[in-house]
């Protein structure tokens, strides 16, 4: 073979290779971006959903001071070291929702926020923002906790490789989110809150006002993801709850959602809970006599420190027992991700309308660890 022949053959094979690569990626690309191909093969049942009515959607590009607003705030608990990931969450929620509605933000921390934190966060927020310090007694482990017993509990969980099993700050955080955040001075002026954490994602436009929807429809608790809890973190929680119910049957709603949290009428807890890193809920519900007494009773047993009771099961059990089941709302329309799980809206129309970027076939709703089946069953 002379040099020219070799050259011609090389060019020939390179071209064939390029062509097959391009046509493959083109086809693949076409497949991946065609919505009907993604959504049509999913056979999700949308019959149990409770869609947001048209009147809660807004076509106005940005808020308008005269339009109706709820008594609500967006709330984030964070450390100064969470700044980069806090900024990312705030930017996404501002882009997808709040630039249109301009609800105020509140940030809370048990240490003073740094100037850098306040400046960078304020720079990505369109409306009012405030930064609060958590009172010492609302955060730290109380003196009456038996520290020896608490240490034994933490070491046991470390041995069992339970996530945050050995952490005291994580326990402080769970107790604060269970029974204290809604007592903070900065939150007294509000009824509704939307809880947001650093490093979460919002995958769809939220062109409707979820707070007004909750207010008008007499809701108290809204969620996007529901799943099973680790039983090792809450070994005595259900027995404690049963003890409380026995002492206070008057607080149990006649139309409760016991069927969501128990498969045997309350004998045992099935570990289902709403994932509380996302919550749109009424602080007046947590401020009620029923919840106040419930939290005080739970707290008095020390389970936040001797075990590792989470605010998610504590809130979920209360919502299921003290509210009517129709006061708990599943926000299907809100595409939400907190590592490692994503809720992507069910139903092609909703997905399209929200300009969602998530993959609906990878939504957590029907994952084996999801409690959505349990939730749908009681609808």
Ligand X SMILES: *[C@@H]1O[C@H](CO)[C@@H](O)[C@H](O)[C@H]1NC(C)=O
The contact set with Mg ion (CB under 5 A) reads 197, 277
Can you list the positions of beta strands (E) in 188-240?
A: 192-195, 200-202, 221-223, 226-228
Do 375 and 222 contact (CB within 8 A), yes or no?
no
Judged by CB under 6 A, does residue 77 bind ligand GDP?
A: yes
Supply the minimum distance, in Å, between the C-beta of residue 244 and ligand GDP: 25
Per-residue x/- marks for ligand X, 326-365, CB under 6 A?
----------------------------------------
Closest C-alpha to 312, from 219, 214, 178: 178
Transcribe 119-164 into DSSP letters: HHHHHT-SS-EEEEEPPHHHHSPPTTS-HHHHHHHHHHHHHTT-TT
C-beta of residue 274 within 8 angstroms of C-beta of residue 319: yes
Q: 293 with 250: CB under 8 angstroms? A: no
191 binds ligand X (CB under 6 A): yes
Query: Is residue 79 within the footprint of ligand GDP (CB under 6 A)?
Result: yes
Interaction residues for ligand GDP, span 197-216 (CB under 6 A): 197-198
Q: Is residue 333 a contact point for ligand GDP (CB under 6 A)?
A: no
Query: Of these partners, ligand GDP, ligand X, Mg ion, none, which one is at the site of residue 60 (CB under 5 to 8 Å by kind)?
Result: ligand X
If the CB atoms of residues 88 and 156 are measured against Mg ion, the closer one turns out to be 88
Cα separation, 336 vs 201, whole angstroms: 6
Q: How far apart are CA 209 and CA 93, in angstroms?
A: 13
- Strand order in 336-338's β-sheet? 200-202, 336-338, 341-343
Is the peptide bond between 130 and the residue preceding it cis, with omega within 30 degrees of 0?
no
Q: Which does 198 bind (CB under 5 to 8 A by kind): Mg ion, ligand GDP, ligand X, none?
A: ligand GDP
Beta carbon of residue 239, minimum distance to ligand GDP (angstroms, whole number): 24
Cα dist from 12 to 7, 9, 19, whole Å = 9, 5, 11
169 binds, among ligand GDP, ligand X, Mg ion, none (CB under 5 to 8 A by kind): ligand GDP
Task: State the binding partner of 71 from Mg ion, ligand GDP, ligand X, none, CB within 5 to 8 A by kind.
Answer: ligand X
Q: Nearest approach, Cβ of 17 to ligand GDP (angstroms)?
A: 46
Contacts of residue 301, defined as CB under 8 A and 6 or more positions apart, other chains included, come to: 236, 240
Give the integer Cα–Cα distance in Å for 297 and 255: 23
Distance, in Å, from the CA atom of 48 to the CA atom of 347, rounded to the nearest integer, reads 12
- Name the residues annotated as catalytic: 279
The least CB distance from residue 173 to ligand GDP, in Å, is 4
Residue 62 binds ligand X (CB under 6 A) = no
Q: Looking at beta carbons only, is 103 or 304 nearer to ligand X?
A: 103
Contact pick of 67, 123, 359, 361 for ligand X (by CB under 6 A): 67
Q: For the segment 114-173, give every residue that binds ligand GDP (CB under 6 A).
A: 169, 173
Judged by CB under 6 A, does residue 112 bind ligand GDP? no
Contacting residue, 131, 176, 182, 190, with ligand X by CB under 6 A: 190
How far, in Å, CA of 209 to CA of 70, rounded? 8
Give dist(CA 198, CA 15) in Å, integer: 48
82 binds ligand GDP (CB under 6 A): yes
The only residue of 74, 78, 187, 258 in contact with ligand GDP, by rule CB under 6 A: 78
Q: Which is nearer to ligand X, 81 or 189 (CB)?
A: 189
HSE-up of residue 346 (Cα within 13 Å, Cβ side): 20
Partner whose binding site includes residue 123, from ligand X, ligand GDP, Mg ion, none (CB under 5 to 8 Å by kind): none
Q: Is the torsion defined by CA of 184, 185, 186, 187 positive or negative?
A: positive
Residues in touch with ligand GDP (CB under 6 A) = 77-79, 82, 109-110, 169, 173, 197-198, 277
Residues found near ligand X in the complex (CB under 6 A): 60, 64, 66-67, 71, 189-191, 284
């Amino acid at each position: 073979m002379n040099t020219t022949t070799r050259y011609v053959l090389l060019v020939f094979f390179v071209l064939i290779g390029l062509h097959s690569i391009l046509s493959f990626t083109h086809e693949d690309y076409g497949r991946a971006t065609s919505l009907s191909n993604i959504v049509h093969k999913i056979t999700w049942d949308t019959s149990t959903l409770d869609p947001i009515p048209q009147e809660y959607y807004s076509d106005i590009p940005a808020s308008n001071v005269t339009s109706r607003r709820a008594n609500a705030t967006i709330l984030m608990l964070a450390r100064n070291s969470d700044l980069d990931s806090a900024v990312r969450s705030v930017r996404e929620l501002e882009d997808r929702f709040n630039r249109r509605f301009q609800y105020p933000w509140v940030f809370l921390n048990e240490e003073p926020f740094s100037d850098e934190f306040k400046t960078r966060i304020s720079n990505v927020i369109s409306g009012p923002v405030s930064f609060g310090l958590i009172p010492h007694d609302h955060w730290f482990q109380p003196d009456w906790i038996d520290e020896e017993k608490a240490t034994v509990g933490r070491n046991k969980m470390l041995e069992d490789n339970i996530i945050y099993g050995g952490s005291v700050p994580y326990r402080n955080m769970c107790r604060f989110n269970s029974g204290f955040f809604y007592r903070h001075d900065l939150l007294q002026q509000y009824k509704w809150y939307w809880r947001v954490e650093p490093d979460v994602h919002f995958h769809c436009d939220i062109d409707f006002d979820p707070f007004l929807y909750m207010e008008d429809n007499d809701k108290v608790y809204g969620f996007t993801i529901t799943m099973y809890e680790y039983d090792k973190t809450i070994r005595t929680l259900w027995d404690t709850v049963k003890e409380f119910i026995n002492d206070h049957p008057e607080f149990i709603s006649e139309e409760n959602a016991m069927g969501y949290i128990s498969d045997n009428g309350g004998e045992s807890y099935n570990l289902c809970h709403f994932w509380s890193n996302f919550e749109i809920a009424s602080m007046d519900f947590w401020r009620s006599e029923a919840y106040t007494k419930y939290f005080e009773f739970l707290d008095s047993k020390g389970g936040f420190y001797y075990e590792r009771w989470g605010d998610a099961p504590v809130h979920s059990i209360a919502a299921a027992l003290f509210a009517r089941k129709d006061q708990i709302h599943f926000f299907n329309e809100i595409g939400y991700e907190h590592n490692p799980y994503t809720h992507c809206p069910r139903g092609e129309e909703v997905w399209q309308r929200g300009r969602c970027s998530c993959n609906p076939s990878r939504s957590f709703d029907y994952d084996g660890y999801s409690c959505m089946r349990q939730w749908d069953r009681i609808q």
